[in-house]
Amino acid sequence: MTATTTESTSRAARILSRPTAINGLTVPNRIAMAPMTRAFSPGGIPGADVASYYARRAAAGVGLIVTEGTYVGHESAGQSNDIPRFHGEEQLAGWAKVAADVHAAGGTIVPQLWHIGMVREQGQPPYAEAPAVGPSGLRIGADEPTGKAMTQRDLDDVIGAFAEAAAAAERIGFDGVEIHGAHGYLVDQFLWAGTNRRTDAYGGDPVARARFAEELVAAVRETVSSDFPVIFRYSQWKQEAYRARLAETPEELEAVLAPLAAAGVDAFHASTRRYWLPEFDGSDLNLAGWTRKLTGKPVITVGSVGLDGDFIKGFMGEGSPLRGIDDLLDRLEAEEFDLIAVGRALLQDPEWAAKVLSDRFDELEPYDAAALKTLS
Ligand SMILES: Cc1cc2nc3c(=O)[nH]c(=O)nc-3n(C[C@H](O)[C@H](O)[C@H](O)COP(=O)(O)O)c2cc1C
C-alpha cells in the first residue's frame, strides 16, 4: 500500500468509528446494515440461522442492523410463509433470540415493520383469502382498481398492527423500530399520487397524502417509550417504477417530511439506489442530505455503497475515488447525513465493516449476485 492509501484509509476508520445517537439509542459507529428481505424463515419464524446471520455482521462491526422487512399483524400485510412475521408467539420468540444474539455481539438492531399493500397477490400465504388493500385499490402503474380501497376501519386496523408490533419490539429487547414507508409498499402507496386517488382526508395534496403515515407514526410513538427510536424509511423510487418521485422540489419534500417529524420520527432513512446522485437541481445534496437539511433529524443514507468498482479502488489508493470512500467520508464529515447503510456488499461479505474499520481494504470482495441465495 502507498502512503496516500494509509492516510486515506485511516481517515475512513476515524470518521466511521464515531458513535452517534438516535433518540435514546447510542449507535457505536456509522455503519448500518440495510434491510434486506431474505425469505429464510419458514412459518414466518426467524430461526437460529437467521440470528447468527445478523449476529455475525454485528460481531464484525456493523453498528446498527435494520432487519429485513417483517410483516405486521394484519391479514393483508404480506404474501409469503418464508418472510418473517412480527406477531405471534413463536415468531416473536425467534426475534427475541435475534436481538439477544446481536446484542451479545456488540451491535444494535431494529426490525423493519412492513405491510406490502397492493403489491399483494390474492391467494398467497400466509392468509390466502385476504384481499390486497391500498389507499385506492390500485397497483403501481394501474388505472383501474384490482384491490380493496381501504375503509376507515382498515386504516385503523393497520395502524393498530404497526403500533402493536412496535410495542412488541420494545418488549422483546429491540433498540427501536423502522417503519417501511418506501419502495411502493402500503405506506408509500399513500404518499404517492400515482397510487393514492382518495378524495377524503387521506388524499389530495402532499400533506393529505402524508396523513396516513403521520397517524401511523403518532400511534407508534404513543405506544413505545419516549426515548425508544422510531426510524422512518422512505424513497422517491418504487418497485417497478424506478423513476417515480414523491417530490419534485425541496418544498414538496418538506411538505411530506415535516408532519412525519412532528408526529415523532427520530431519524429518517432516505432510500436511494446510488447515494452520490444529487436529488434536486442546483445542489450536490443527495436525498439523505436534503432530508437532514429539511427536518434537522439524523438521517441514514444508502445506495451502492461499496459496490462501485471505484469505491474499492478508492480505498486501495488506485484510480479516482470520486464516488468512492473519500466522497462518502466528505459528506459524512460535513454532516450531510449521519449513518451509511450497506446492503448487498454486506450480503457478500459479513466481514465488510470490520475490514473497512481496520484498514483491510485490500480484502474487500466485489459483489456477486450469488450472495442473494444464501444466508451465510
Ligand atoms: C435482496 C434484497 C432485499 C431487499 N429487501 C428490502 C426490504 O425488505 N426492505 C427495504 O426497505 N429495502 C430492501 N432492499 C433494499 C435495500 O435495503 C437497499 O436499499 C438497496 O439494496 C441498496 O443498497 P445497496 O446498494 O447497498 O445494496 C432490498 C435489497 C436487496 C438487494
What residues pair up with 26 in beta bridges, in sequence order? Answer: 21
Q: Which of 185, 202, 275, 367 is catalytic?
A: 185
Confirm if 342 and 306 have CB atoms less than 8 A apart: yes
| Per-residue model confidence as pLDDT tens digits over 92-112 | 999 999 999 999 999 999 999
Residue 49: alpha-carbon gap to chain centroid:
22
**CB-CB contact of 143 with 209 (8 Å):** no
Residue 267 cell numbers, joined = 431519524
Tell me what pLDDT residue 2 has: 39
112 lines ligand 1 (CB under 6 A): yes
User: What pLDDT sits at residue 240?
Assistant: 83
Ligand 1 center to 54 CA (angstroms): 15
pLDDT of residue 204: 96
Question: CA angle, corner 260, sides to 35 and 169, nearest 5?
Answer: 45
What is the reported pLDDT for 8? 47
State the pLDDT at residue 5: 46
How confident is the model over 106-138, as pLDDT tens digits? Answer: 999 999 999 999 999 989 999 999 999 999 999
3-state secondary structure of 132: coil
> What is the per-residue pLDDT for 360?
86
Is any ligand 1 atom within 6 A of the Cβ of residue 35?
yes
Q: How far is the CA of 277 from the centre of ligand 1 (A)?
A: 18
Residue nearest to ligand 1 atom 6, measured at CA: 36
Q: Is the CB of 111 under 6 A from ligand 1?
A: no
SS3 295: helix
Q: Is 53 annotated as catalytic?
A: no
pLDDT at 7: 47
Q: Is 302 in the pocket of ligand 1 (CB under 6 A)?
A: yes
Predicted pLDDT of residue 324: 66
Check: CB of residue 272 under 8 Å from CB of residue 301.
Answer: yes
Nearest CA to ligand 1 atom 21: 343
Residues 182-194 as b/e (b if ≥16 CB within 10 A, e otherwise) read bbbbbbbbbbbeb
Task: Compute, in angstroms, the gap from residue 343 CA to the centroid of ligand 1.
Answer: 6
Give the strand pairing for 25-27 and 339-342: unpaired
Supply the residue whose CA is at minimum distance from atom 12 of ligand 1.
Answer: 35
Return the residue whose CA atom lies nearest to atom 14 of ligand 1: 36
pLDDT, block means (10 residues), the chain with 376 residues: 47 94 98 98 98 98 98 98 98 98 98 98 93 97 96 98 98 98 98 97 97 98 98 95 93 97 98 93 97 98 78 48 71 97 94 92 85 92
CA of 238 to the centre of ligand 1 (A): 12
